[in-house]
A and B are shown apart, each in its own frame.
Chain A
Amino acid sequence: MKALVVDDDPITLTLLRDSLKYLGYEVATARNGREALAYLDKEPCRLIISDWVMPEMDGIALCKAIRERPIGGYVYIVLLTSKGGTTNLVEGYAAGADDFMSKPFEPAELNSRLRTARRILSLEGRDVTIFALARLAESRESDTGVHVERSRCFAQTLARDLAAAGKFTDEIDGEFIRLLYLTSPLHDIGKIGIPDSVLLKTDHLSDEEFETIKTHTTRGAVTLEEALRDFPEAKFLRMARDIVLNHHERYDGKGYPKGLAGEAIPLCARIYALADAYDALISRHVYRDAVDFEGARQIIAAERGKQFDPQIVDSFLRCEERFIELCKTTKDPSTQRELPEEA
Chain B
Amino acid sequence: MNAINVEELLERCMGVHSIMETVLAEFRDLGEEMLRNIETRLDEGAWRKASEAAHSLKGASGNISAESLHALAAKMEICAEKADAEACNELRQVLRREMELCLHDISEILNDCPV
Which A residues are closer than 8 A to B by beta carbons?
7-12, 14-15, 18-19, 22-23, 51, 53, 55, 82-84, 103-107
Task: Let me know if B63 and A103 touch, CB within 8 A.
Answer: yes
Please determine whether A18 and B12 come into contact, CB atoms closer than 8 angstroms.
no
In the complex, are the beta carbons of B22 and A10 less than 8 A apart?
Answer: no
- What's the A-B contact tally at a CB cutoff of 8 Å? 66
Query: Chain B, 71-111, contact with A by CB distance < 8 Å: what is the 0/1 string?
Result: 00010000000000000000000000000000000000000
A273–B70 CA distance with the chains assembled, in angstroms: 50
Q: Which residues of B contact A104 (CB under 8 A)?
A: 12, 59, 62-63, 65, 70
B16 at the interface (CB under 8 A from A): yes
State whether B12 touches A22 (Cβ < 8 A): no
B3 interfacial contact with A, CB 8 Å: no
What mask results when residues 54 to 66 of chain B are scored 1 for a CB within 8 Å of chain A, else 0? Answer: 0110111011110
Q: Which residues of B contact A106 (CB under 8 A)?
A: 11-12
Complex Cα gap A83–B16 (Å): 24
User: Min CB distance, B87 to chain A, in Å?
Assistant: 19
Cβ–Cβ < 8 Å partners of A23 in chain B = 14
Shortest 10 CB-CB contacts between residues of A and residues of B: A104-B62, A11-B60, A18-B19, A9-B59, A104-B63, A11-B63, A15-B23, A14-B26, A9-B60, A15-B63
B60: nearest chain-A partner, CB-CB? A11
Q: Are B19 and A15 in contact (CB under 8 A)?
A: yes
Q: Are A22 and B14 in contact (CB under 8 A)?
A: yes
Q: Please determine whether B56 and A15 come into contact, CB atoms closer than 8 angstroms.
A: no
- A212 CB to closest chain B CB (Å) equals 60
Judge if B13 is at the interface, Cβ distance under 8 Å.
Answer: yes
CA A82 – CA B62 in complex, angstroms? 10
Show 22 A/B contacts (Cβ-Cβ < 8 Å), sorted by A. Answer: A10-B30, A10-B60, A11-B26, A11-B30, A11-B64, A12-B60, A12-B63, A14-B22, A14-B23, A15-B12, A15-B19, A18-B16, A18-B19, A18-B22, A19-B13, A22-B14, A103-B59, A103-B63, A104-B65, A105-B12, A106-B12, A107-B14
Q: By the criterion of a CB under 8 Å from any partner CB, how many residues of chain B are at the interface?
A: 24
Nearest A-chain residue to B64, judged by Cβ: A11
In the complex the two chains form, what is the Cα distance from A106 to B5 in whole Å? 14
Q: Nearest Cβ distance between residue B79 and chain A, in whole angstroms? A: 16
A20 to chain B, nearest CB (A): 10
> Is B27 an interface residue when CB atoms closer than 8 A count as contact?
yes
Q: Beyond the given A15-B63, A51-B59, could you list 4 further A-B residue pairs with CB under 8 A, ordered by the A residue number?
A: A11-B26, A11-B59, A18-B18, A103-B59
Whether the Cβ atoms of A53 and B55 lie closer than 8 Å is: yes
CB distance from A29 to the nearest CB of B (A): 13
Chain A contacts for B52, CB-based, 8 A: 55
Residues of chain A within 8 A (CB-CB) of B63 are: 9, 11-12, 15, 103-104
